[in-house]
Structure 1
Amino acid sequence: MASPGRTPRRRGRREGEPVSRDVVLAAAKSRFAADGYEKTTLRAVATDARVDPAMVLYLFGSKQELFRESLRLIIDPAVLVAALQGPEADGDPDVGARMVRTYLGVWEAPETGDSMRAMLASATSNTDAREAFRSFMQSYVLAAVSEVLGGGSEARLRASLAGSSLVGVAMLRYLMSVPPLSELPADDVVRLVAPAVTRYLTADADELGLPT
């Protein structure tokens, strides 16, 4: 029992202890997954991370930026780059199959699937969340993938086309649960979608009809 006249100290980060961006991002990821973008507040994230709300604002500037950065905890561009660069991870020689399998793995893993559903749902219903998601895709995912493809406008277009297939599958399979796509085993989805992704990433520019 606390002594009379003394207020018990709140347990958490000690005064003067450095604030970790990773701790705040982890708290934000969980909060966005639980409450969605609109209902999540910087104060709630600060409470979860046991920091002052002003520190969250100082570190990230806005809720939109916090949302964008927390997406990196779910979709790591480095993982997609690794899938592009070689078959070492799963032994699959087909680049499209590696990309689709890696992407589906993000949606189906317990630690990331719920967050992906909540964040994509937010991006389709809230203007600020949509802008943050768009910026994340452009600045991190498409930039990383297009660099592996050689960089430049053609590589970025190829990455965007491949991404459109993956996001479309995610929308119908995981967010809207539209059968029969939502009911197929993941291996079947990989087999069916991979050829299109491979074509976008590797086919001759003239065959694809890419603008010159």
Structure 2
Amino acid sequence: MSRDAVLAAARARFAAEGYEKTTLRSIAADAGVDPAMVLYLFGSKSALFRDALRVIVDPQALISAVAGGPGADPDIGVRMVRTYLRIWESEDSGPTMVAMLQSATSNSDAHEAFRGFMQDYVLTAVSGELGGGEHARLRALLAASQLVGTAMLRYVMKIAPLATMDGEDLVRLIAPTVTRYLTADATELGLPD
């Protein structure tokens, strides 16, 4: 299907060239479609960027990490951090995530697309699993701040010792904070009324 081919081409181009250097024409050529088809399917480069992110970071995987299930680690933070690190450490998704996060911090269109992805997909999915409402959304955002900050320092900026640390050691260090954000009593956490 041409939509899948365009998404695959976009993901590869964004990973290789970043947001600014990637053109809709180059994505169309890689996908074997007319550039007008790319616009028809996605509407804009930023919308294509957002949808390419959605292919890489499946909100359902994060929902499953929040929900747990049979055989899952009983600690929600451990589940979330492990799931998140797997996305960044995968050969299939890691390089694309690095390029996309770099683009989101250096280009306003990519920034808006990344923000839209976080708000419309990730935060909505995770906060829904936490019961919905403003507190659930704030909890999900606090956990996301820890995870995105970790990704920025570990995978994008590659600052040691965070960048060189064993993954399970990182899970052990970060998971308690994520667990606290997601499960602590609202008063203890200091959430607004």
| TM bracket (short chain) | over 0.9
Match of residue 83 from structure 1: 65
Match of residue 109 from structure 1: 90
Give aligned-pair identity as a percent. Answer: 66
In the TM superposition, what is the alpha-carbon distance from 1:20 to its structure 2 partner?
Answer: 2.7
SS class of match (1:68): helix
Match of residue 93 from structure 1: 74
Aligned residues: 193
One-letter amino acid of the structure 1 residue matched with residue 95 of structure 2:
D
Q: Is the 8 A contact 1:107 1:116 kept in 2?
A: yes
Q: Distance in 2 between matches of 1:92 and 1:100?
A: 11
Match of residue 131 from structure 1: 112
Q: Distance in 1 between matches of 2:142 and 2:136?
A: 10
Match of residue 66 from structure 1: 48
Q: Pick from 183, 187, 191: which aligns with 1:206?
A: 187
Could you say which structure has the larger radius of gyration? 1
Q: Pick from 47, 57, 72: which aligns with 2:39?
A: 57
Match of residue 188 from structure 1: 169
Q: Deviations over 1:94-131 (max 9, x none)?
A: 00000000000000010000000000000010010001
Q: Distance in 1 between matches of 2:62 and 2:121?
A: 11
Match of residue 22 from structure 1: 4
One-letter amino acid of the structure 1 residue matched with residue 12 of structure 2:
S
Match of residue 12 from structure 1: none
Map of 1:140-151 to 2, 5 A cutoff? 140-151=121-132
Gaps of 5+ in 1: 1-18
| Superposed CA RMSD | 0.9
Q: Distance in 2 between matches of 1:196 and 1:98?
A: 13
In the TM superposition, what is the alpha-carbon distance from 1:87 to its structure 2 partner?
Answer: 4.2
Q: Distance in 2 between matches of 1:87 and 1:123?
A: 33
Q: Given the two structures, how large is their TM-score scaled by the length of structure 2?
A: 0.98
In the TM superposition, what is the alpha-carbon distance from 1:73 to its structure 2 partner?
Answer: 1.4
Q: 4+ runs of 1 displaced by more than 6 Å? A: none
Q: Pick from 6, 14, 19: which aligns with 1:32?
A: 14
Which is bigger in relative contact order (C-alpha 8 A, separation at least 6)?
2
One-letter amino acid of the structure 2 residue matched with residue 210 of structure 1:
L
Q: Distance in 1 between matches of 2:131 and 2:8?
A: 33
Q: Which has the higher helix share?
A: 2
Q: Given the two structures, how large is their TM-score scaled by the length of structure 1?
A: 0.89
Q: Distance in 1 between matches of 2:72 and 2:190?
A: 31
Q: Distance in 2 between matches of 1:20 and 1:54?
A: 12
Q: Distance in 1 between matches of 2:161 and 2:117?
A: 30
Gaps of 5+ in 2: none
